[in-house]
Structure 1
């Protein structure tokens, strides 16, 4: 049965369950009495929804608190063991796989290093499959208990009915790779477990907006600064965020060649790979046969020696120029989107850290229009190097919440009879 606005009773029940679950998730433990004002539901609706969620094993009691003159109020919380998600970060130096419970407590992890930045599709697919099997085995979790697997990848992700998620990763040599289809072939997971594949900058943004420095902001840009650079834009119109190929804005006409093949991209100056290349080209000596994280650590030690020795002037000059390029790139985000906050994450951004941030802020303000620049704050992300993996795990979690805490139903062979749909819509809370 549909209401005047087109919503059915089933839609209303799902929305009520979602409202209660989300408030308990972000603000819990809460009592039934407290849930009414924060969800906008009547006390009767709260009682019915809570009873339903408790019966489904999604909500459990978490002690009690004294009330004003009455009986103690029972506190409720989301049951951590009622669901599990896997988050995967296909990064520049490794593939990281983590298993979480419903409250995003890490239960197990697996890491597969990428030798010499090798992004062969079969190798990456194998790393993901093996990592999923490893973390499930380590935690003793049956695959069918998963709510889903979220995966953050470099590049643009498109979805279609034939191949699912397809990745266009120009910088890593991926041209329309049907990643979801490849993962499904020979997967250790049942068909009922969905894959959620998206750009790594978006999964980073999702994590920071839910649990990090973006909480409470309506307009924010979350920057992923790793081997390359990318960004996620969050606005009231795009609440779950949208990845933008910020690293491929042109910052210098006929400039350095970017790994995407174009000339003058921001990523050719501000990514960690380009930063180390420029240090080498200017006469610096990055350590040989090491990964980028180790090499960047060495560059920082050379530019800012802790023992009072003289700084490497080449390393220092390249870092200072990189701060200006990054600040100029942030000014484009400020002018285009006028965010309240800009958060810088990713392993390289966090490694450069507070020492780098004042110069970046100064250049961002200098290059941006005065009015939006006065309203924005530029800070480091708060969730550390695992933020992309956490954000990837949030993708199936957000989908689970949007369905009122119900798992996807198996696909039926045909449409349900009209009488069954009508009875379901008329069913009481």
Structure 2
């Protein structure tokens, strides 16, 4: 039976369930009266939907709220223990896998170091194996199930953040990661083809900067803002922009913006990219070229720690002028790159995340902010705030786990049929709805 605008009654019911679940997830506990107003449903409709969701175990009572002279109202909330989510961060030095409940509380975590870092090429089969091993390990740690019957341990999906451009085709998701030697890598096919992921468990692959932006918009420094750019600063650099025009989020290959014509050779093969000056790998290379000496055998994170210590020793010793100069130049390059984002997208906020961004932030953020404002046009610069992301170094895995959660919401809290096709990333529509709700409240 057709409903409003060609939508069926089933479509309308799914949308009502989705709206109620999201309102309770972000703003609950709430009374049915408040929930109906927030979700745009009549009192009868919201009561029916809540009763249905309670029967499914997705909503539960959460006490009562007293009223002046009236009957106390029963509060309801989202049942966060109903299922499990897996988030995967495929970085350039390691693969991190985390298991979460539906409130995004971490239940288990494992990491696997990627071999051959510095060769600019990563074996896709090795990465896929690390992902599969990690998923198996965290599920076994918590005893999460993969059976068809919904339950407290049900795995609702696996989300994966990857470096590079993600392309969706009829045959599955391809990853184009030029800086790591990936050219149309069929990552989804590799994972599904292993037979180690049940076909009914949804699988999502998305750009890592985009998953970072997703996490900050839902739970971090982007909440309540209309226009945000979230920067991922690790071995390389990337960004995700969320504005009025692209409210569902767009990953940007910001690290390959040219900041110096005929400049340093970038990992992508071009010259003068921002990443060739400001990515952690390039930053450490510039320090070594200038005479700096990272600890022998140190990985990128340890070497970056050593650079920071040399540039600003906390014991009152003399700062290494070479290290200080390299960091000062890096702050200027980053500020110029952020200024381009300010001029292009005019965001309210720029959030700096990623392991290197969070490590360098306390020492460089003020200088980066100053250079950003100096290079940007006055009007958009006058309204932008530059700050560190709030979710720490695990934000990419949080954002990756949100992908199946958002799809779960979009389905109205129902799992897809076993024989359904691979799901498209429904988090975009969910995020759009969240932004619209924030604007309505503002």
Cα deviation 1:294-346 (Å, max 9, x = unaligned): 00000000000001100000000000000000000001101111111100000
Partner of 2:151: none
**Aligned: 1:380 with 2:383:** no
**Aligned: 1:99 with 2:99:** yes
**Aligned: 1:146 with 2:155:** yes
Partner of 1:72: 72
Query: Any gaps of 5 or more consecutive residues in structure 2?
Result: 148-153, 422-442
**Aligned: 1:186 with 2:169:** no
Distance in 2, matches of 1:240 and 1:392, equals 15
Q: Greater shift after overlay, 328-337 or 403-412?
A: 403-412
**Aligned: 1:49 with 2:49:** yes
CA RMSD of aligned residues (A): 1.3
CA shift at 1:14, angstroms? 1.2
- Pair 1:237–1:52, CA change in 2 (3 A): farther
SS at match of 1:375: coil
Where do 1:283-322 residues align within 5 Å? 283-322=291-330
Partner of 2:123: 120
Where do 1:397-412 residues align within 5 Å? 397-411=405-419
Q: Greater shift after overlay, 76-85 or 109-118?
A: 109-118
Cα deviation 1:158-207 (Å, max 9, x = unaligned): 01111x11000000001110000000112422101111001000000000
Cα deviation 1:256-289 (Å, max 9, x = unaligned): 0001111000000010100000000001111121
CA shift at 1:4, angstroms? 4.8
Query: Any gaps of 5 or more consecutive residues in structure 1?
Result: 414-429
CA shift at 1:237, angstroms? 3.6
Distance in 2, matches of 1:189 and 1:157, equals 20
Distance in 2, matches of 1:151 and 1:65, equals 40
Contact 2:263 2:271 in 1 (8 A): yes
Contact 1:136 1:143 in 2 (8 A): no
SS at match of 1:336: helix
SS at match of 1:99: strand
Distance in 1, matches of 2:379 and 2:70, equals 53
Where do 1:237-252 residues align within 5 Å? 237-252=245-260
SS at match of 1:26: helix
Distance in 2, matches of 1:146 and 1:407, equals 10
From 206, 214, 220, the counterpart of 1:198? 206
Distance in 2, matches of 1:222 and 1:207, equals 10
CA shift at 1:240, angstroms? 2.9
Partner of 1:16: 16
SS at match of 2:60: strand
Partner of 1:418: none
Distance in 2, matches of 1:409 and 1:92, equals 35
CA shift at 1:235, angstroms? 1.8
Where do 1:337-376 residues align within 5 Å? 337-376=345-384
Counting matched residue pairs gives 412
Where do 1:146-225 residues align within 5 Å? 146-162=155-171, 164-225=172-233
Q: TM-score, with normalisation over the residues of structure 1?
A: 0.94
Q: TM-score, with normalisation over the residues of structure 2?
A: 0.91
Distance in 1, matches of 2:330 and 2:146, equals 45
CA shift at 1:236, angstroms? 2.9
